[in-house]
Amino acid sequence: MAVLVLTVLASLLADLAQAILGAIVLVAAIGLVNLAPLRRIRTIRQRDFWLGLVALAGVLVFGVLRGVLEAVLISLLVLLHELDHPRIVAGERAPGLLVVRPEGRLFFANARRVVDRITAIVVDRRPPPRVVLLDLSAVNDLEVTALERLADLAEDLHGQGRALWVAAPSQRPLEMLRRGAELLGRNDLRADTGRLGVRVFMSLDDAVAAYQRQTQPGRPPP
């Protein structure tokens, strides 16, 4: 009887060992997956949570090595996108004083885009600002190309009867501002102003106080 069963069902039972082995491996693999870190990451930052899911899916679909490599590649692409599209926060600190704070490094790849976004913010502002105050407190580096684009912005604002001021630069951007003062129509950053009306302040509060003094009754607008 046993021989008959084995003879008849041999083709059906041929892959049984592989199926059982696959089930054992799957159960063992599920036991290795720990979702608690992903839940913790999700509560802290959604972007990192989704990147973690991408890495997990890549490992399950393509294997450990290829999955990890693809996750690293996607993370690098996300990082490059963030560098190329820095966040910009804008708001008024006083009537006619528009404070714009870019966040991140300003360099050749994002300089034009940042200046274009600042220009769009200024154009959309009603009433139009007298002074655009560029808060560099969240900028850790300022490259030559970015400095040239800021000089273009200063030229455009000057032609519209407005002024570009700069506040709170950290050490590296401050050094670049000093070296490229002529681009901004300045001979010396220590002077009050220059050809384009660009002024540099060591803190945001100093800039706001200077603007308030300058716009008191009887004082000409910048």
3-state secondary structure of 133: strand
CB of 111 closer than 8 Å to CB of 149: yes
185: left (phi over 0), alpha (psi -120 to 50) or beta: left
What confidence score (pLDDT) does residue 84 get? 83
3-state secondary structure of 16: helix
Other CB atoms within a 10 A radius of the CB of residue 206 amount to 14
Tell me which H or E stretch contains 94.
strand 87-94
- What does the radius of gyration of the chain's CA atoms come to, in whole angstroms? 30
- Reply yes or no on whether the pLDDT at 92 is more than 80: yes
- Reply yes or no on whether the pLDDT at 32 is more than 60: no
What confidence score (pLDDT) does residue 206 get? 94
Task: Identify the weakest region by mean pLDDT among 31-45, 76-90, 140-154, 161-175.
Answer: 31-45
Find the DSSP H helices in 63-197.
Answer: 64-84, 111-124, 144-159, 171-179
Residue 60 sits at φ, ψ, to 5 deg, of -70, -35
Higher pLDDT, 132 or 48: 132
What confidence score (pLDDT) does residue 194 get? 72
CATH 3.30.750.24 is the classification of domain 87-214: yes
pLDDT tens figures, 5-17: 546 555 555 555 5
In this prediction, what percent of the chain has a pLDDT beyond 90?
46
What confidence score (pLDDT) does residue 69 get? 82
Torsion of CA 124, 127, 129, 134, to 10 degrees: -40
> What average pLDDT does this structure show over 194-202?
86
pLDDT tens figures, 136-167: 999 999 999 999 999 999 999 999 999 999 99
Written as six digits, the tokens of 98 are 């528009």
CB of 131 closer than 8 Å to CB of 168: no
Residue type, 30: I
Domain ranges of the chain: 18-83, 87-214
